[in-house]
Amino acid sequence: MSDKSISLIDKQIMWNRLLAVVEEQAQVCQRTAFSTIVRESGDLAAGVFDAQGRMLAQAVTGTPGHINSMALAVGHVIDAYPVETMQEGDVYIHNDPWMGTGHLNDISITTPCFHQGKLVGFLACNSHIMDIGGVNDWSSSRDVFMEGLYLPILKIVDAGQVNESLMAVIRANTRQPVETVGDVYSLVNCNAIGCERLGEMMQEFGLDRLDALADHIIDTSREAVLTKIRALPHGSWSSEITLDGVDEPIVLKARLTIADDGIEVDYTGSAGMTKYNFNTPLCYTLAYTSYAIGVAITGDIPNNAGSLAPRRVTAPEGCILNALKPAAVVARHLMGLMLPDLVFNCLRQAVPEKVPAEGAGVLWNLRAVGPWSSPPKFDNGYMVGLVTTGGMGALPYRDGMSATGFPSGVRGGPVEIFESMSTVVMWRKELNPDSGGAGEFRGGLGQIMEIGNSIPEPFEIGNAFERIKFAPRGAQGGLDGAAGKVRLSTGASLDRKGMHLVPVGARAVICSPGGGGTGDPRRRDRAAIAADIANGLVSPEAARDHYGYQD
């Protein structure tokens, strides 16, 4: 079928097929992954790109940080390996934080897709690897080279032949060689499935290239986004947010401008790079800024190069949101996941009916590390992660969701998996009453979790959390959510970022933050308050003090 003969209906059908292709690609990655955060929580991205490296479709399964930063990765691969040098069966790998991964623990795989002997596009994916070497205490890294094996863009498969030397290097630089290499193969395999399905689609529709379809997807999406933006109030609005940091608070500032040609967010005035490891490469800053604009303004338009184009992000080089190599970046999510709240605080001044109050933001991931002296099943020690979450801020028309992974989209992992891969036991995991900020619409609740060892040995937990010193703020008269807290069952505080020892006989108690409320609490529906009390979400005392409610 020639480009000129493709009807509009055909293009729309093919577009939907591309969405199906990448969703199957993502599901293959998730189902074959070794990493628990991928297999159980969906911390991954998958997408299809045209021969120019423009993203045409992304899978629903995945996270904004992976997807929107991955949108840039294929272009970097093409720069390193021009398309005329590529051949069928080639696969490229890298984990360069500044080229579309954000930190070394995310490995990106790009596969050129050939049809009838010609390169027609690319399938790309990335996912989080539990261990890539480097220091075990993430809080102690001071540059990217301390954080693990740094892979530039390399050919991991050459015309169908796996580069065993490179695989040996990867295997030798991780504490979990089986799991890490297994995840690399999982990524390679999911791209292969995507290429196969793309070829089947092109065969079915008689396509020999994707050019006309790609232009239709990108042009249609860009115009749809611009149409929505042009209907918004035009102008500039500023906001700032204060985060915990380590030695001193971190202040992030944003100025958002809405104009006919798009939305621009400028982070001038934000804190400079830090000696700690929550510096953020610009690709990751772009990812979560774009996501915030997308969910508030353009949520029903598919994510691709066209819909992303009208969202522009700038940050001064050397600030914490545009960190330069070799900055330590392994915990870049501590800043990146807070950017939607910062953007929403700007947008609230223009479209107050569209955005939520501040929420927990950063995932409260539990990272447990066990000793080498564990029983034979764990004779190499263990390093396991469990995704846990806090409360989402309330919207102007409904309560915030409790214990949800907004804005990351990463699902909470099953406790049973966490326990089966370690000697750690989750003794308690429940919603934290009164943690959601009071309002006409209540903020989502955080959680209380209590973990301890099932054997008489100490273990460590990694604390890479935010919202301990500065709670999520309410909006439009709503009250703040509860700040987070980490402590031992003995009462000792573990609030400081870093690795903390949990002694024999003690348990770690983690309280994740609740979301801020929206609107005057005194205007909350009386039946909703009664239901909250009955369900144990709000105590009678809080209902009286914050809502003026008497049973």
DSSP codes, 403-445: SB-TTTTPPPPPHHHHHHTSSEEEEEEEE-TT-SPPSSBPPPP
Average model confidence (pLDDT) across the chain: 94
Within the chain, all domains assigned CATH 3.30.450 are found at 3-222
Amino acid at residue number 480:
D
Report the alpha-carbon distance of residue 22 to residue 28 in Å, rounded: 10
DSSP classification of residue 348? T
**How do 485-488 and 508-511 pair as beta strands?**
antiparallel
272 three-class SS:
strand
Q: What is the pLDDT of residue 379?
A: 53
Report the alpha-carbon distance of residue 281 to residue 308 in Å, rounded: 18
Report the alpha-carbon distance of residue 442 to residue 438 in Å, rounded: 5
Q: What is the pLDDT of residue 372?
A: 55
Amino acid at residue number 432:
N
Q: Which CATH number fits domain 3-222: 3.30.70, 3.30.450, 1.20.58, 1.20.120?
A: 3.30.450
Q: What is the pLDDT of residue 378?
A: 47
Q: What is the pLDDT of residue 72?
A: 87
pTM exceeds 0.85, yes or no: yes
CA 203 to chain centre: 35
Dihedral Cα 153, 155, 156, 158, nearest 10 deg? 170
Among the residue ranges 265-279, 368-382, 529-543, the one predicted with the least confidence is 368-382
What mean pLDDT is predicted for residues 47-57?
97
- Strand-pairing partners, residue 314, are 266
What mean pLDDT is predicted for residues 336-352?
97
Report the alpha-carbon distance of residue 236 to residue 350 in Å, rounded: 9
Q: What is the pLDDT of residue 374?
A: 47
Q: Give whole-number Cα distances, 264 to 100, 186, 229, in Å.
A: 20, 37, 11
Q: What is the pLDDT of residue 371?
A: 75
Q: Which residue's entry shows tokens 């080498």?
A: 372
For the chain, percent of residues with pLDDT exceeding 90 = 83
Q: What is the pLDDT of residue 443?
A: 98
pLDDT tens column, 207-238: 999 999 999 999 999 999 999 999 999 999 99
CA 188 to chain centre: 21
